[in-house]
Structure 1
Amino acid sequence: MELYLIRHGLTVWNAAGKLQGNTDIELNEAGREAAGQLGKKLDDIDFDVIYSSPLIRAYETACLIRGHKNIPVIRDKRLRELSFGEMEGAYYADWNCPESPFHYFFTEPEKYTPPAKGETIEELCARTKDFIQSVLEKDWQKFNRVMIVAHGALNKGIMCYLEGNDKAHFWGKGLQKNCQASIFEYDGKEWKKLTDD
């Protein structure tokens, strides 16, 4: 089974440098264009199913990638982005200071503590692991190729499980770009990364 793990297209808040988290922000025109272009690039590849975050920026990306094909797009709440609680909508420049809980988020994630009403990286990793194990690994033989369209931190949570990384190595080689696909293969026992991003 192959898994294509894709980050949603660009949004107005992405472009402005705002923290989105669980706030439901739609794609901007550049994001829609990039999603459509990725759909054309993947047009000759057959997918059994597309799983999407319930947030509109990911769901719209999934639908634009699917295009004219008759592939089900299934939303799953476990694929929503990491919640940043009361800090959602803040500008990166305002929260990336030593006094902020986000100071270590990208550089030393093992030291990250979420803001009020936010979610820990451990909580994110627990729900992504649950999704992969209960949806993909459990019935892996019925799938040839699956797509997941979700979010920057969420996708890294999935990759932590697939690659066996700990919290200190949460970001791996860094955040996926908008509409970037990372490809993995599962043989019933272990996951192997087919692309090196």
Structure 2
Amino acid sequence: MNIYLIRHARQNSKLCNVNVELSEVGRKQADLLGIRLMNYHIDALYSSHYYRAKETAEIANTHLNVSHTIREELREIDFGKLEGNPDSYNYDRFGDFLKERAAMTSDLAFPSGECGLDVWNRAKNVLNEIIRTDYENVAIVTHGGTIRSIVAGILGMDQANKLQFGLSLENTSITQLVYHKERNRFYLERFNDYAHLEKEPELLRRNW
């Protein structure tokens, strides 16, 4: 079974983890994602319930026409007291915490929020549900922090090291897991693949 973990398209706000819809660029990214996924024989589509993930899945699904299941367990990590703030505010007020987190010495929870293990413990329930189906190819539209926690989880890594997976995940990038049923094991096949955006560099995060 192939499971494609997809980061949502670009949202219309730069504030930390606000639940908002996609920007115009994000809608274009989602459309290009859907066109690409047409080649992957997707059997089912899952997403978190946040607007940016749900809308990305809905736009992509105009090209796929498969069932779309929304699961709250696929939501982004809870940033706690950092949510809703601009980066400048968070670095000013929570700078010491962010530096300690970046050192990756332990799986720190955000103040009044979640740690990576919290995310993995809820997201893996959806993965376990999916691998019990007869699907061969499943796409999951979720969030950057959630993707990192899932990858660390399936590889048996300490969640403190999840930040080593990509300095920045591109919007609508594809991270592919392969589940081997006989071995009951997940394999990481690729990470942060955004080839469908490369011909239009204005869609990349460096230009946001």
Sort the TM-score into its range (normalised by shorter chain): 0.7 to 0.9
The 1:121–1:147 alpha-carbon spacing in structure 2 relative to 1, beyond 3 Å, is same
RMSD: 1.9
| 1:19 aligned to which of 10, 16, 19 | 16
Query: Runs of at least 4 residues of structure 1 off by over 4 A?
Result: 97-100
1:145 and 2:157 aligned: no
Residue identity over aligned pairs, in percent, reads: 27
Instruction: Write the distance in 1 (CA, Å) between the matches of 2:175 and 2:146.
Output: 13
Instruction: Write the distance in 1 (CA, Å) between the matches of 2:77 and 2:26.
Output: 20
1:166 and 2:158 aligned: yes
Instruction: Write the distance in 2 (CA, Å) between the matches of 1:103 and 1:121.
Output: 16
Indicate the residue corresponding to 2:174 in structure 1.
181
1:63 and 2:58 aligned: yes
Q: 1:127 offset after TM fit, Å?
A: 0.7
Instruction: Write the distance in 2 (CA, Å) between the matches of 1:150 and 1:27.
Output: 14
Tell me the secondary structure at the aligned position of residue 73 of structure 1.
Answer: strand
Instruction: Write the distance in 1 (CA, Å) between the matches of 2:90 and 2:105.
Output: 15
Tell me the secondary structure at the aligned position of residue 106 of structure 2.
Answer: helix
Instruction: Write the distance in 2 (CA, Å) between the matches of 1:70 and 1:35.
Output: 14
The 1:54–1:5 alpha-carbon spacing in structure 2 relative to 1, beyond 3 Å, is same
Indicate the residue corresponding to 2:100 in structure 1.
104
Indicate the residue corresponding to 2:6 in structure 1.
6
Matched positions, count: 188
The 1:112–1:191 alpha-carbon spacing in structure 2 relative to 1, beyond 3 Å, is same
Instruction: Write the distance in 2 (CA, Å) between the matches of 1:86 and 1:43.
Output: 40
Instruction: Write the distance in 2 (CA, Å) between the matches of 1:196 and 1:69.
Output: 22
TM-score where L is the length of structure 2 = 0.82
Indicate the residue corresponding to 2:146 in structure 1.
154
More deviation in 145-154 or 187-196?
Answer: 187-196
More helix by share: 2
